[in-house]
Amino acid sequence: MKKLMVLFFIAILFSLENAVAQNKLDIGFWSQAWYQHVENGKNGNALNDFMVRRAYLSVKGQPTDYLGFFAHVAVDRLGQDGLDNPSQGLGSGLAFRDLWITLSLNESFKIQAGRMYVPLTRNYGTTSTKSLLTTDLSFMQGGIRGGIFYTSKVGRDDGVTLWGNPFDGRLQYRMMVSEGVEDAGNPEDKLRVVGRLVVNLLEPEKEWFNQGTYLGKKKVLSFGAGIDNQKNLTLNNITGQDNMIWTVDGFFDHPVAKDAITVESAYIHIQNSTQTNTFAKLIPGDNADLFYLQAGYYFGAPIFKGNLQPYFRYENVSIEQKNETNFLSGGINYYMKGHNAKLSLDYTVINHSEIDDQSMFTLQLAIGI
């Protein structure tokens, strides 16, 4: 796979030269800076953490009508206490978070190859982290200080995706074949198959990256479903395990006079989990059910230089033969220039059934161009 990634990189370099010559090149930068206070965060003591939660340098090119490319060079959680994995771009390292080439035969059929989102959920399968409703992703999809419930390379995987927007975008499909679990956990090197289907009942969402909230600029009502399967894995030292995940979700975003409302919810079922999440006591081989509901209200009338948007999120994790864990978040966004200049405050409480509640306070400044 490393040789394949090198070939992708060389192809992108040639495409980059052509795109520059034709003035079809976009370069951008976007970053989130955090201060976070964690109750009982380190050896039972309070933890105060300053970090760069995300920093992305993006390069997008369209050298021909049919061929395009996209790359994110990224660092995540730079400065987070106790976390450093440079090869994945976590902590002190830089890495290609996204790196793909797209062949667009038409709007209904596209072939995308490289490293990209796993097209399973909306919250971290289609939504850009640059335009989230809440300060961060849901806790079980890598948000706040949580981990991602499915196999990934920091939310991505290496493979090929067929996708498109037939019926003028009323329908969107994505089907991926990728690596998934590797090495000793996948002794027969079985491939992973992931698929997602979305029905758009109002305005279509045709892009690869959706927004988590449109701030009154779009009318969206969508319903999605996804499935993720990889067979014959070794999980928690037990061989012959099949990992199966399925999910259904809904998203609503609509203007209300000069304001706007956003609501999103999803249910996720996991059979033979491949991941560990210490907050929810999830380990490989577990069966689990996840649910979240989040909503926000955007005020169109500005206050001083920006607009307010309070939000909340409730998230539940139920693991077979284990006690439930609940996450409750509330916060407010202050938009000074849409998603490209945003100040956010978030307060999250984790309700463990076996130990005392744990709270986290996050202050974020997000800036992009």
- Lowest-confidence region among 2-16, 156-170, 243-257: 2-16
Maximum Cα interatomic distance, the chain, rounded to a whole number of Å: 61
What is residue 228's predicted lDDT score, i.e. its pLDDT?
A: 98
The pLDDT of residue 128 is: 96
36 near 49, Cβ under 8 Å? yes
**Average pLDDT over every residue of 258-271:** 98
Report domain extents, the chain. Answer: 102-368
Banded pLDDT at 88 (limits 50, 70, 90):
confident
Token pair for residue 111? Answer: 């072939």
Mean pLDDT, the chain, rounded, equals 92
Answer whether residue 1 shows pLDDT above 70: no
User: What is the value of pTM for the model shown?
Assistant: 0.91
CB-based contact 290:273 (threshold 8 Å): no
CB 218 within 8 A of CB 246: no
In tens, the pLDDT along 219-258 reads 999 999 999 999 999 999 999 999 999 999 999 999 999 9
Specify the CATH class of 102-368 in words: mainly beta
State percent of the chain over pLDDT 70.
94
Q: Which residue has the tokens 């399973």?
A: 120
pLDDT of 188 higher than 80: yes
Q: What would the 3-class secondary structure string for 159-192 be?
A: EEEEEECCHHHCEEEEEEEECCCCHHHCCCCCCE
pLDDT of residue 93: 85
Residue 276, judged by CB atoms within 10 A of its CB (0-12, 13-18, 19+), counts as middle
> Which tokens belong to 204?
């279509």
Residue 105 has pLDDT above 80, yes or no: yes
Q: How far is 149 from 275, CA to CA, in rounded Å? A: 6
Name the percent of the chain lying above pLDDT 90. Answer: 81
Is the pLDDT at 6 greater than 80, yes or no? no
- Note the pLDDT of residue 194: 98
- The full DSSP string for 299-360 is --S-BTTBEEEEEEEEEEEEETTS--EEEEEEEEEEESBTBTEEEEEEEEEEEESSS--EEE
Residue 23's nearest CA partner among 58, 56, 60, 57 is: 60
Give the up-direction half-sphere exposure of residue 241: CA atoms within 13 A in the CB hemisphere: 23
Q: If we measure between CA atoms, which residue out of 56, 153, 171, 68 comes closest to residue 112? A: 68
Least-confidence region, from 37-46, 100-109, 192-201, 359-368: 37-46
pLDDT of 289: 98
In tens, the pLDDT along 318-349 reads 999 899 999 999 999 999 999 999 999 999 99
